Chains A and B, each alone.
Chain A
């Protein structure tokens, strides 16, 4: 008797109803059902014969024993990866009311998750048969921030294998990517962007390319994601459970002490500008769920990210400190004489810095206000008027 079968018989007493597999121990013998087989009134040896090598039994065992952890974010995330979390694909084992297909308490994120970033192409309501077939047949991929995570069935049984790479590298030849197996390698790998610049904000859309994590098990996969995007799985899970504890700016600011104590003075209008500067999708892949306070929303796009931002982060607070100091300065009228083109050029320049495209402006792009020669020309001509000492 294989381990799968022994485990199944032990669990049958409580009844199993999971991913298309139904097993019950009734007064008239066992009931065993899968999308392919339906038997009632069978004895233990018949049950064992049916269960031996059955893919639905192996799948059940993977989730019951290898993954376990009912109600945990880790399990919910692994279910979500293979589209096993949505309506019609019940993760509710008997008596399990912490997961499952209830729509109650589902945040927007879950709805979005069902249609977005799903390279597998099938929507999440496919039944267990199709899901398992897809996992056997090339696997299924989803995106998480800039990560592309692929899950497939290992050679035999219900065990899964997970691979992670940059989503832009989805189609890359694996031989062109550096391969890692230890999740601990991830934090070093994502510390710098492709241009070697330090990334203090993990969810900035500047994840470097050219690497892959291969042959991970479920725990290692979640650890890898946690190194790349810390706490995103935990907060995503809370949101799906309807339990995301959002802390709005006013409360975060009031809590600050030391050199950050002054951020409470940031005017609400300036807070809006700050969120536009730091939190939109081009700067951060978290979906901003916090506002000034529960009753005062900021009129700034929240972003479409899979995972929520539940509170202003340390980088935002540090930026807010500078903005607060700027807002505290008195304003004055300065007179500078500029041609229309020079004003436009300054606009180009501001825009180029704000969009991080300065490096894309070539030396001979002399019609671009952010062109180095043009800016040097402007500085030579107007530097003194603009308060530049050179």
Chain B
């Protein structure tokens, strides 16, 4: 038997935080690719500490629903799962290309395939494109600028690396007229989106796993879409003569389920049929995109 665990942050305060996790888990459950699919959280339940014991499978694929490599994927999750002998060098990553490591956990007799986070997988580029397509209602993106929004450095330099990684790949894909990485707490800032781009239309896609106060409140206000997020805003909204199409957290995009599966597949899970089924269900436009346009980097 094989199981999938989607490991996410969750929240004691924001009930929406875990919604994408449950939604993607449900999508994957419906494919039947895994005998068991379980959500696990740092702040909700089951906790990372106790999720493995809830499974009957002896092969477990753990995919972190996090944007970047760093504190949670490198320290917290392996520690709480009690992965024996974990060493971050097992991932052989320079910050954006963690793949997977096969380990055992101290409290259960199972083989755990610990995968890199969803956010840095190449297929996440496709999700960003998908998000841009759906928010612009399938307009021709070749006329659009794309701003990929990240948190910024804060406690973790890899968080900015992940944003740049996708921005660079998407720029090379030629799908957009212009692509830039912007941040909440470092330059170039999200506040300046309207002046940073030369295009008349800019799609703004935050690389966040769930909608929370950053994506619902801070970013719309920083972008100048509204003075007060509670009053809402239109999509698009003109700011300094630039039409801004604000997409909200990319992590809520149904196609993220595909990235979760890709992670598990990279680690050896037999899920090819499920990947095809999920793409069928969650993708709106033609088979994309960044992978074909720029070539997979691995």
Contact = CB atoms under 8 A, between A and B. Distances in A.
Interface string B18-54: 0000100010010000000000011111110111011
B79 interface: yes
B15 A234 contact: no
Contacts of B107: 245
B56 interface: yes
B49 A230 contact: no
B71 interface: yes
A198 B54 contact: no
B56 A257 contact: no
Query: Of A72, A200, A233, A238, which is in contact with the most chain B CB atoms at under 10 Å from its CB?
Result: A200
Interface string A243-255: 0010100000001
A231 B46 contact: yes
Nearest to B46: A230
Contacts of A231: 45-47, 50-51, 53-54
A79 interface: no
A361 interface: no
Given A230-B46, A313-B47, A69 B53 contact: no
Contacts of B53: 231, 234-235, 238
B22 A187 contact: yes
Nearest to A233: B54
A311 B45 CA distance: 13
A217 B93 CA distance: 45
B15 A198 contact: yes
A104 to B, nearest CB: 22
Nearest to B80: A255
A311 B46 CA distance: 13
A322 to B, nearest CB: 12
Contact of A257 (B50, B51, B76): B76
A235 B108 CA distance: 12
A192 B46 contact: no
A283 interface: no
Contacts of B41: 314
A315 B12 contact: yes
A27 to B, nearest CB: 39
Nearest to B42: A314
Interface residues of A, number: 31
Query: Of B13, B51, B53, B107, which is in contact with the most chain A CB atoms at under 10 Å from its CB?
Result: B53
Contacts, number: 65
Contacts of B44: 200, 202, 314
Interface in B40-87: 41-47, 49-51, 53-54, 56, 71, 75-76, 79
Interface string A295-316: 0000000000000001101110
B15 A255 contact: no
Interface in A308-334: 310-311, 313-315, 318
Contacts of B79: 255
Nearest to B47: A314
B76 A314 contact: no
Contacts of B42: 314
A72 B12 contact: no
Contacts of A310: 50
B49 A200 contact: no
Given A202-B45, A231-B46, A314 B12 contact: yes
Interface in A195-220: 198, 200-202
Given A200-B43, A255-B79, A184 B26 contact: yes
A72 B56 contact: yes
Contacts of B29: 184
Contacts of B75: 257
Contact of A200 (B12, B26, B50, B76): B12
Nearest to A71: B56
A259 to B, nearest CB: 10
A74 interface: yes
A311 B56 contact: no
B153 interface: no
Contact of A230 (B11, B14, B15, B54): B54
A234 B50 contact: yes
A314 B43 contact: yes
B50 A230 contact: yes
B71 A258 contact: yes
Given A198-B13, A314-B12, A235 B50 contact: yes
A200 B47 contact: no
Nearest to A203: B45
B294 to A, nearest CB: 36
Contacts of B13: 198, 200
- The 5 A-B pairs with the shortest beta carbon distances in the complex, nearest first, are A230-B46, A230-B45, A200-B12, A231-B50, A231-B46
Interface of A: 69, 72-74, 184, 187-188, 191-192, 198, 200-202, 226, 230-231, 233-235, 238, 245, 247, 255, 257-258, 310-311, 313-315, 318
Given A73-B54, A226-B54, 20 more contacts: A187-B22, A192-B15, A198-B14, A200-B43, A202-B44, A226-B46, A230-B45, A230-B50, A231-B45, A231-B47, A231-B50, A234-B53, A234-B54, A238-B53, A257-B75, A257-B76, A258-B155, A314-B43, A314-B47, A315-B12
14 contacts: A184-B26, A188-B22, A191-B15, A192-B15, A200-B11, A202-B44, A226-B54, A230-B45, A230-B46, A231-B45, A231-B51, A258-B71, A313-B45, A313-B47
